[in-house]
């Protein structure tokens, strides 16, 4: 964590200013859910600095309103654009939700670290997520499927509040039809013609098919959900050092200079947001850390 | 404690009557002078031009929750111990425009402000403040990401340190190993001497630029007795500090105390006003403020000092992570004395004592650290 000294003092003059916003054009808008949209963003300058790792985020700025950190939800193979999926929760995300094709949005990033797609090679992979948490994991799914032969069994356990709030429905259907990715869905509240599982996502874990001795788990959701997921995965036999979680904190700068996102000695923006569970377990045991 | 000494060579003596020549030499080299002066009954660091703007004959009295300036018979220039605010506002300003944007058709254009290339000379930097400067250097210009605005301002700095011969009432630099004598990070280090009505400065260059400046000054070689007298004063200052933090072990000891009930006791007094974070020379947290003008043609982002004592600081949708006073005081103190060490390989406290002096209820970090670590 924080050990890579990429910029020596002498050569740092050429480094782009991490505080500076780059204007991007909204190339496409897709309404996923009533409060959730996916944007495709293309740089108005060159396409340099568009490479990203699954799990990384960008700081997205709407003119005059403000800036928020949003995970990249797109495919890294199609690296010439940034894809972000945003749920409206506050003033800035509301403004982002109103953007139309052709509008300009400010981008800083990509920042933060990666889900352990490399470390997971050779093992089963269990993805557990809920709600909008599927968005930061979608690049992982793209990556795993593009490199399918390198992994054992792939399991995606996903929970939504209601069937109507299931995100990326089209992707889920497409992935399901492949038969090499085991997808289990559950909802908190069944509506309409839902005949699937009802209950929290942790109830899916016991029945999922994976080898706990040779599995890597990646979990993305609210802290309470990640905590109970970790307990359940542990019960199944996955060690803490094979589980990864994604932390969320107030972020202002995105590069470890403003202080806001600290958890203990870690800057979530720079050292996270993806953590191996054993390195972040204290967040579940220490109140108001 | 190791004996404080001066290096064998390059040290010279500057008489008080020639002190203006030091300021003039710096001004002539294109430096804007920033130094201590008296405003609103406090020592503040501001733009100065002449020696008589310094706090001549003023001494500060610092106690937990109390600060007074009193007149001293000696007409010292640096008889006070420390400015009420630190130097960080000149390198990492309380409000700093990061960029502006203007409407451009359907979108906007981002304009980066010109880098701040003002050459600044800081006059009267204390040894603890040099340590704080080194900490900010590490954070802002030696990490994975560089803060360009800090680096630009830092690049053009000339530092005139003044060693402390009078420890303040809330100081504990000796135990933090950051003072009272400056050992690195300065261009010139002065020791102000006032012996049997003779008023002079021992001047120690700490850089090439410092040596070059000394060549322009009416200085003379020091007598052995003058060096000895200064060493004696500095050693007396080091020994005179009553407050201490066990800087070698505090991180390890405090790290075990996250759940200690004593945090609640501190929280009963703490007002979460954030004064300690505003006067602290190492605090670096900032907030970003985006705004636009009424026409919507112009927008900008300001970076402003922030404090971990506010509720907003840890706010994410749904609420603040640290909503209790206990958790916010604990975050501040554990950051300084535990997490900082893991983040930057050094403690985040330099022992300047400002947080003690300017705490309206007089919470004393050294006393609280002692209370928390008195038992294993």
pLDDT, residue A4, reads: 38
- DSSP class of A72: B
CB atoms within 10 A of CB A38: 19
Q: SS3 for B220?
A: strand
Please state, in angstroms and rounded to a whole number, the distance separating the CA atoms of residues A27 and A82: 10
pLDDT, residue A5, reads: 37
Per-residue pLDDT tens digits for B350-367:
999 999 999 999 999 999
In this predicted structure, the answer to whether residue A16 has a pLDDT above a threshold of 80 is: no
pLDDT, residue B139, reads: 97
pLDDT, residue A3, reads: 36
B138 in A contact zone (CB under 8 Å):
no
Identify all chain A residues contacting B287, using CB atoms and an 8 Å cutoff: 252, 258, 260
Mean of the per-residue pLDDT values of chain A? 92
In this predicted structure, the answer to whether residue A120 has a pLDDT above a threshold of 50 is: yes
Domain residue spans in chain B? 12-98+114-239, 250-288+305-373
CB distance A74 to A138 below 8 Å: yes
Dihedral Cα A223, A224, A229, A234, nearest 10 deg = 90
Nearest CA in chain A to B259: A286
Contact state of A260 with B314 under an 8 Å Cβ cutoff: yes
pLDDT, residue A49, reads: 65
pLDDT, residue B204, reads: 97
CA distance, residue A127 to nearest chain B CA (Å) = 24
pLDDT, residue A14, reads: 46
Share of residues in chain B with pLDDT > 90 (%): 93
> A147-183: b or e for each residue (b if 16 or more CB lie within 10 Å)?
eeeebbbbbbbbbbeebebbbbeeebeebeeeeebbb
CB atoms within 10 A of CB A43: 17
Please state, in angstroms and rounded to a whole number, the distance separating the CA atoms of residues A19 and A77: 27
Per-residue pLDDT tens digits for B52-100:
999 999 999 999 999 999 999 999 999 999 999 999 999 999 999 999 9
Two tokens at B96?
A: 């700093």
Average pLDDT over residues A31-59: 90
A64-to-A41, A61, A143, B58, B299 alpha-carbon distances in Å:
19, 8, 36, 47, 5
pLDDT, residue B106, reads: 84
Per-residue pLDDT tens digits for B289-298:
999 999 999 9
CB distance B161 to B130 below 8 Å: yes
Between B107, B144, B296, which is nearest A6 by CB? B144
Q: SS3 for A262?
A: strand
pLDDT, residue B196, reads: 82
Q: SS3 for B229?
A: helix
Nearest CA in chain A to B331: A289
CA distance, residue B48 to nearest chain A CA (Å) = 31
- For chain A, strand residue ranges (E) read 22-33, 36-43, 57-62, 66-71, 82-87, 104-111, 124-130, 154-160, 182-187, 197-198, 215-220, 243-246, 262-263, 266-267, 274-276
pLDDT, residue A1, reads: 36
In this predicted structure, the answer to whether residue B376 has a pLDDT above a threshold of 80 is: no
pLDDT, residue A47, reads: 62
Task: Name residues whose C-beta falls within 8 Å of residue B221's C-beta, 6 or more positions apart in sequence.
Answer: B12, B13
Here the ipTM equals 0.94
pLDDT, residue A9, reads: 35
In this predicted structure, the answer to whether residue A48 has a pLDDT above a threshold of 70 is: no
Domain residue spans in chain A? 17-111, 124-246
CATH of A124-246, one of 3.40.50.620, 3.40.50.80, 3.10.20.600, 3.30.710.10: 3.40.50.80
Average pLDDT over residues B203-220: 96
Per-residue pLDDT tens digits for A203-223:
999 999 999 999 999 999 999
Two tokens at B370?
A: 């002692």
In this predicted structure, the answer to whether residue A11 has a pLDDT above a threshold of 50 is: no
In this predicted structure, the answer to whether residue A13 has a pLDDT above a threshold of 50 is: no
pLDDT, residue B2, reads: 76
- DSSP class of A21: -
Nearest CA in chain B to A101: B106
A151 confidence band (pLDDT: 50, 70, 90): very high
The candidate with the shortest Cα–Cα distance to A52, out of A111, A96, A92, A137, is A111
In this predicted structure, the answer to whether residue A61 has a pLDDT above a threshold of 80 is: yes
Please state, in angstroms and rounded to a whole number, the distance separating the CA atoms of residues A121 and A144: 9
Interface of B with A in 34-93 (CB under 8 A): none
The candidate with the shortest Cα–Cα distance to A201, out of A183, A219, A224, A185, is A185
Two tokens at A274?
A: 């993806």
Contact state of A44 with B107 under an 8 Å Cβ cutoff: yes
pLDDT higher at A15 or B29: B29
- Phi, psi (5° rounding) for residue B70? -130, 150
Chain B interface, best mutation among A19, A45, A279, by max B CB count within 10 A: A19
Per-residue pLDDT tens digits for A173-186:
999 998 899 999 99
Beta bridge partners of A37: A31, A86
- Peptide bond preceding B373 in cis form (omega within 30 of 0): no
Contact state of A104 with B106 under an 8 Å Cβ cutoff: yes
Identify all chain A residues contacting B341, using CB atoms and an 8 Å cutoff: 265
In this predicted structure, the answer to whether residue B324 has a pLDDT above a threshold of 80 is: yes
Nearest CA in chain A to B97: A19
Q: Tell me the CATH number for domain A17-111.
A: 2.40.30.10
CB distance A111 to A254 below 8 Å: yes
Nearest CA in chain A to B314: A250
Please state, in angstroms and rounded to a whole number, the distance separating the CA atoms of residues A103 and A86: 16
CA distance, residue B33 to nearest chain A CA (Å) = 26
Two tokens at A149?
A: 């032969």
Per-residue pLDDT tens digits for B147-202:
999 999 999 999 999 999 999 999 999 999 999 999 999 999 999 999 888 999 99
pTM of the model: 0.93
Task: Name residues whose C-beta falls within 8 Å of residue B66's C-beta, 6 or more positions apart in sequence.
Answer: B357, B362
């Amino acid at each position: 964590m924080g050990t890579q000294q990429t910029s020596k003092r002498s050569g740092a003059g050429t480094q782009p200013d991490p505080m500076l916003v780059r204007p991007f054009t909204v190339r496409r808008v897709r309404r996923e859910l009533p409060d959730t949209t996916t944007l495709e963003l293309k740089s108005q300058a060159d396409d340099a600095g568009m490479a990203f790792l699954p799990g990384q985020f960008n700081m997205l700025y709407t003119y005059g309103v403000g800036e928020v950190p949003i995970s990249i939800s797109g495919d890294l193979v199609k690296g010439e654009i940034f894809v972000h999926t945003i749920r409206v929760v506050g003033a800035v995300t509301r403004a982002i939700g109103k953007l139309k094709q052709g509008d300009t949005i400010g981008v800083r990033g990509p920042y933060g670290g990666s889900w352990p797609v490399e470390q997971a090679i050779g093992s089963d992979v269990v993805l557990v997520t809920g709600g909008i948490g599927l968005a930061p994991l979608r690049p992982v799914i793209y990556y795993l499927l593009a490199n399918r032969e390198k992994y054992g069994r792939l399991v995606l356990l996903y929970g939504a509040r209601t069937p109507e709030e299931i995100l990326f429905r089209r992707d889920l259907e497409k992935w399901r039809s492949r038969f090499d990715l085991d997808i289990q869905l559950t909802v908190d509240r069944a509506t309409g013609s839902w005949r699937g599982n009802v209950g929290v996502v942790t109830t899916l874990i016991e029945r999922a098919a994976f080898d706990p001795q040779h599995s890597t788990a990646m979990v993305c959701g609210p802290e309470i959900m990640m905590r109970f997921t970790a307990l359940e995965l542990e019960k199944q036999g996955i060690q803490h050092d094979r589980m990864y979680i994604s932390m969320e904190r107030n972020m202002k700068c995105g590069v470890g200079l403003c202080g806001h996102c600290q958890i203990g000695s870690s800057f979530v923006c720079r050292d996270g947001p993806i953590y191996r569970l054993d390195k972040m377990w204290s967040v579940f045991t220490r109140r108001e850390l | 404690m190791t004996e404080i000494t001066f290096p064998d060579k390059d040290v010279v003596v500057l008489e008080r009557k020639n002190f203006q020549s030091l300021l003039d030499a710096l001004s002539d080299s294109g430096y804007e002078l920033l130094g201590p002066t008296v405003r609103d009954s406090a020592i503040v660091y501001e733009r100065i031009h002449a020696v008589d703007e310094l706090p001549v004959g003023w001494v500060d009295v610092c106690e937990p929750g109390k600060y007074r300036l009193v007149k001293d018979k000696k007409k010292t220039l640096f008889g006070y111990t420390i400015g009420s605010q630190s130097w960080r506002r000149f390198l990492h300003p309380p409000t700093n425009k990061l960029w502006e944007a203007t409407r451009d058709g359907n979108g906007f254009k981002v304009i980066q402000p010109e880098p701040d290339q003002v050459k600044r000379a800081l006059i009267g930097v204390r040894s603890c403040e040099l340590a704080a400067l080194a900490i900010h250097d590490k954070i802002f210009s030696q990490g994975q990401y560089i803060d360009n605005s800090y680096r630009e301002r830092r690049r053009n700095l000339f530092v005139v340190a003044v060693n402390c011969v009078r420890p303040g009432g809330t100081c504990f630099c000796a135990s933090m190993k950051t003072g009272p004598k400056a050992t690195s990070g300065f261009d010139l280090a002065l020791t102000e001497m006032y012996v049997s009505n003779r008023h002079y400065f021992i001047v120690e260059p700490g850089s090439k630029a410092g040596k070059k400046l000394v060549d322009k000054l009416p200085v003379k070689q020091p007598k052995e007795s003058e060096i000895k007298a200064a060493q004696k004063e500095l050693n007396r200052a080091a020994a005179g500090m009553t407050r201490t933090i066990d800087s070698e072990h505090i991180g390890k000891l405090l790290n075990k105390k996250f759940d200690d009930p004593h945090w609640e006791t501190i929280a009963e007094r703490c007002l979460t006003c954030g004064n300690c974070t505003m006067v602290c020379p190492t605090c670096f947290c900032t907030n970003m403020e985006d705004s636009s003008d009424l026409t919507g043609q112009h927008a900008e982002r300001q970076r402003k000092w922030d404090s971990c004592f506010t509720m907003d600081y840890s706010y994410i949708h749904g609420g603040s992570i640290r909503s209790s006073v206990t958790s916010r005081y604990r975050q501040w103190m554990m950051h300084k004395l535990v997490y900082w060490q893991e983040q930057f390989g050094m403690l985040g406290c330099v022992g300047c004592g400002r947080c003690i002096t300017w705490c309206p209820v007089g919470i004393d970090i050294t006393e609280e650290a002692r209370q928390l670590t008195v038992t294993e």
